[in-house]
Amino acid sequence: MSNSEFFNPYNFIRSSESDVREKPIFHNETKGYSGEVTVSATAITPLFIGGRREITDDGHHLIYFYEENKQKTIPSTSLKGMLRSYFEAITNSCYLSLEKNYYEGYRPKLGKMGINADLGRIEDMPSQNNSGTILLGETFKMTHVVMDIYKETLRNIGINRWKQGSYGPIFVEFEPDKELPDKILAGKTENSTCCYLKVSGAMGTKKHETAVTFDKISKELEFPNEVLIKYNAVYAHRKNQDNNPVKLSEGDLVYIEYSGNVVTNIYPAKHAKKPYNRSVSEVICSNESRKPCDLTDFKEGRICPACRIFGNIFHNIDSQSNKKVQGFAGRLFVSQGKIKDQSDFTQDLNTLKILGSPHPSCIPFYMQESKDIKSGYEGTADIRGRKFYHHHKSPDYRAMEKSNQNATVYHIMNAGNSFTFKIRYEGLSDFELGALLFLLNNNKDQVLKLGMGKPIGLGSIHLNITSMVDINKRKRYSDDLSETGVIEWSQDEIDMAIICYKEALLGYEKEYDQFDQIPYIEDFLIISDTRKLGKYPVKYPRANGKGFSWFMDFTDVNKHKDIKYLPQLSDIPKKKLDGWS
């Protein structure tokens, strides 16, 4: 086995264009199946569900396993969230959690080889009802001849502590009728001009550096709130050195594009990213079947399987209507998970490896491979699907050092420990009940992922139905008091319900002859199978000891020819990534 071959911890389950939306069975109807399923879950890898949390002075998080009444417990919300995610995938349901104003961005080339952007300074921040103001600066060159003469002054100012690519304030003096300054001052004087100097290399390595001033005549530009919304979407995950979100404020320097007197785009002065014109939700909704179910769908009796049994709050997209939202309660009720052995947990503190935020801007991993992939979210390339995590045979989740980017957890459930939970359901169709039982009736090599730390190998669980009863409401609430309406289901009846789901799904997906040929079913069966990845490691890629370096080397579609695309699940284990070190 080459030590350069590996599988990425996550991959995507595809969706299709088939329309599976139908009218739900309402709560006042007695149609459909009602009953209760008891499920046993065994931890195949260590499992952690976060509960009480403490934060140290240096920003490090200490998290305890979730408890209720001093008993470690699996919360019903975690179980229901896991079940909904997988149920959505195996029924081709809608993409429920979409932010309308979420935009991804890319790093543009500034200047002659790329976009024409100028430096500006925010004077007033926009609000929901009012635009803000950005002052357009005057850019000039600071020669390294002048910088070398005044290098002691610059050192005293602290230029050696400035980060590469950042702008720092300095005071300069211009000779009369000269475009470039000839003096760098230690502080403000009567004739000084304040400017912001960009440092992009060591002194003496370049002919000049860029500087900008706002002390001379500057142009005021309108800063619309829509531009700020796009900026915030692109930089939603940007953090400062204290691990807090970075927000724009008055006085910040930004690159700007503008038309007339109106700003059209802004980027940070450091690590600029330009938003794509299409939002992520627009790309997802280009496939009608992925569009979140809304109030119009509900009124027309056309909602997806997941919304039918788990419920939803349907929002109105028609601004002419007075009604804004309509709730539809779920018909699935999940209990808490009762843990079998309260002592079968790690007794020491475990510092986890860093769990970063998703990065949909990594186009070769989040978008399908195509000729138009360089256009990112602008072109015809489509998203890969729903994100899920592989099982790790030998999880390597511990970190050597603590920081404000990772967490230390107390009490991890050991592999082999188990818990049980119950699911009560009301008014499910053949298709809905069969799909639910298909998820709960895992074969011996199948796992689902639950809890914290999925990317680093935690949370693989195996589910097994231990008992199931069907409740006939008509009989239960009849005049015959001796009739309970409760019938226990056998494994054969459970299997028959699953067959009904498979046949119904093939009715929607008419181009496929076999159930496991349906793309999202094929993908689900692969990513939940503990055997598919063989002997290769499941880890994030690294180069020179850093994950960021690997992605910079192999996933920038505009810089590199040797692009590393995330293999499609159906290609596993035929196609692996390489570049591990």
Tens digits of residue pLDDT in 469-505? 998 866 666 555 556 678 899 999 999 999 999 999 9
- pLDDT tops 80 at residue 547: no
Q: How confident is the model at residue 114 (pLDDT cuts 50, 70, 90)?
A: very low
- pLDDT tops 60 at residue 420: yes
Instruction: With residue 121 as reference, give the H or E element that holds it.
Output: strand 118-124
Domain map (residue ranges) of the chain: 5-102+286-578, 105-275
Alpha helices (H) along 261-325: 280-284, 295-299, 305-310
| Sign of the torsion formed by the C-alpha atoms of 65, 68, 69 and 72 | negative
Mean pLDDT within 106-128: 72
- pLDDT tops 90 at residue 560: no
Question: Count H helices, E strands: the chain?
Answer: 13, 31
**Rounded CA separation 212/141 (Å):** 8
Give 450-489 as a DSSP string.
-SS-GGGT--EEEEEEEEEEEE-HHHHTSS-TT---EEEP
**Rounded CA separation 449/390 (Å):** 8
Select the highest-mean-pLDDT range: 41-50, 220-229, 367-376, 469-478: 41-50
542 burial level (CB within 10 Å; 0-12, 13-18, 19+): middle
pTM for the predicted model, two decimal places: 0.81
**Rounded CA separation 443/465 (Å):** 11
Per-chain mean pLDDT for the chain: 84
Tell me the three-class secondary structure of 492-537, residue by residue. HHHHHHHHHHHHHHHHHCCCCCCHHHCHHHHHHHHHCECCCCCCCC
Which of 80-84, 134-138, 533-537, 574-578 is predicted least confidently?
A: 574-578
pLDDT of residue 241: 53
∠ CA 531-534-535 to the nearest 5 degrees? 135
**Rounded CA separation 40/339 (Å):** 10
Which of 53-57, 172-176, 365-369, 439-443 is predicted least confidently?
A: 172-176
Residue-wise pLDDT for 300-312, tens only, equals 989 999 999 999 9
- pLDDT tops 90 at residue 425: yes
**Closest to 74 in 3D by CA, of 394, 443, 422:** 422
List the beta bridge partners of residue 121.
135, 253
The answer to whether the CB of 44 falls within 8 A of the CB of 462 is yes
pLDDT of residue 581: 35
- pLDDT tops 70 at residue 514: yes
More confident residue, 40 or 243: 40
